[in-house]
């Protein structure tokens, strides 16, 4: 209950009490009136508080009213998600004393749909690594690159001097000028590339586009329509997903700029089955102690892939877009892809002096 320290208020309260006594016919009625007045004194400041809260969080209420607005608003970056992103910016401003934003010493250059997001999330569990959450697209986007190295550094996470900052942008692998630009920044840069069975990578590439169109209420093209030349019935060599899976075309450009001992190749297929074994190789490549074990990773039977134990009370899985079921593909078309990629795979194996069980 509020107190009124001045005499005028005391007099007013006394007057109010006298009026109540005049109206009350017995002590019980007086007590009831007094309690009713106390309730109203509490309700007024509470109503004022919740009014301000509602006004300041109007976008939150709009987002939670899923029946009134399309849930796509959440995906598009408004409402609740926008609030979370703003909170993330606030968290970014408060960082441990001594932590600074440093240029990366390691870059994951791709390949798209070969597990690069999972790889980055797993590596971020290591105490010696700080990773960028978003794809920066500095070296492959002229607009970003022309903003200069300081812009790039500011897009890095806070880290301590002894930690390794890791950046990931899968488009780097296929972009022609990127190896030169990275070399110009740091000739000792560690490069990580993840590869999967080329046919599976093509189908996974199509799967992402397929579900993205469904989310937009658009009708996706059939895989056969995109993968096959309508005139000849053979594989469509203009299909970008197919071009990306011819790994040796792009890998040759990287090996002209960086020596093999600065490039580590991750088996993206094995990363799905046995992630710890692949991460141990990366820890060795980066000169880090072995920290990431199956105490920090566990197989989520509901999601169908490995998730992370951040600490003893918190677990985290990749987004819902990861691990989605591939659409049904004609087995004859898969065989055609495998046959096409076979000589290209052999050229890659000779180039990197390593074989993968692709057939």
- The catalytic residues are 113
Distances in whole angstroms, Cα of residue 16 to Cα of each of 2, 10, 301:
16, 10, 68
Q: Write out the two tokens for 83.
A: 């609030």
Q: Write out the two tokens for 59.
A: 């976008």
Distance CA 276, CA 88 (A): 29
The annotation status of 207 as a binding-site residue, yes or no, is: no
Distance CA 45, CA 28 (A): 27
The annotation status of 322 as a binding-site residue, yes or no, is: yes
CB neighbour list of residue 209: distance below 8 Å, 6 or more residues apart = 220
The annotation status of 323 as a binding-site residue, yes or no, is: yes
**Of 87, 116, 65, 140, nearest in space to 271 by CA:** 116
137 CA to centre of own chain: 15
The annotation status of 294 as a binding-site residue, yes or no, is: no
The annotation status of 114 as a binding-site residue, yes or no, is: yes
DSSP secondary structure code for residue 291 in this structure? -
CB neighbour list of residue 60: distance below 8 Å, 6 or more residues apart = 79, 80, 83
The annotation status of 225 as a binding-site residue, yes or no, is: no
The annotation status of 117 as a binding-site residue, yes or no, is: yes
The annotation status of 324 as a binding-site residue, yes or no, is: yes
The annotation status of 326 as a binding-site residue, yes or no, is: yes
The annotation status of 77 as a binding-site residue, yes or no, is: no
The annotation status of 306 as a binding-site residue, yes or no, is: yes
DSSP secondary structure code for residue 228 in this structure? B
Residues that constitute the known binding site: 113-117, 196, 204, 306, 322-326
Where is the binding site for 3'-phosphoadenylyl sulfate, in residues? 113-117, 196, 204, 306, 322-326
């Amino acid at each position: 209950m509020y107190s009124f320290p001045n005499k005028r208020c005391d007099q007013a309260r006394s007057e109010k009490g006298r009026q109540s006594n005049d109206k009350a016919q017995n002590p019980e009625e007086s007590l009831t009136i007094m309690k009713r007045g106390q309730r109203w004194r509490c309700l007024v400041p509470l109503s004022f508080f919740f009014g301000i809260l509602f006004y300041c969080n109007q976008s939150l209420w709009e987002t939670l009213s899923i029946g009134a607005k399309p849930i796509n608003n959440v995906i598009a970056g408004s409402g609740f998600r926008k609030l979370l992103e703003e909170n993330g910016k606030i968290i970014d401003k408060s960082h441990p004393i001594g932590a600074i934003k440093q240029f990366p010493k390691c870059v994951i250059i791709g390949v798209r749909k070969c597990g690069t997001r999972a790889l980055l999330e797993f590596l971020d569990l290591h105490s010696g690594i700080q990773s960028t959450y978003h794809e920066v697209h500095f070296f492959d986007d002229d607009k970003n690159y022309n903003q200069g190295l300081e812009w790039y550094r500011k897009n890095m996470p806070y880290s301590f001097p002894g930690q390794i900052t890791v950046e990931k942008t899968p488009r780097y692998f296929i972009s022609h000028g990127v190896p030169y630009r990275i070399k110009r920044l740091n000739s000792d840069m560690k490069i990580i590339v993840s590869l999967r069975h080329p046919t599976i990578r093509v189908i996974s590439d199509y799967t992402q586009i397929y579900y993205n169109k469904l989310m937009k209420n658009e009708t996706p093209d059939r895989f056969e329509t995109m993968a096959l030349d309508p005139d000849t019935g053979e594989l469509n060599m203009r299909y970008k997903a197919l071009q990306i899976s011819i790994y040796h075309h792009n890998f040759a450009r990287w090996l002209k700029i960086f020596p093999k001992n600065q490039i580590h190749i991750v088996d993206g297929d094995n990363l799905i089955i046995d992630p710890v074994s692949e991460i141990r190789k990366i820890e060795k490549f980066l000169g880090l102690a072995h920290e990431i074990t199956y105490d920090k990773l566990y197989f989520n039977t509901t999601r169908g892939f490995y998730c992370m134990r951040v600490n003893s009370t918190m677990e985290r899985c990749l987004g819902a877009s990861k691990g989605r079921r591939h659409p049904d593909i004609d087995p004859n078309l898969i065989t055609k892809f495998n046959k096409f990629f076979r000589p290209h795979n052999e050229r890659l194996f000779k180039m990197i002096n390593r074989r993968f069980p692709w057939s």
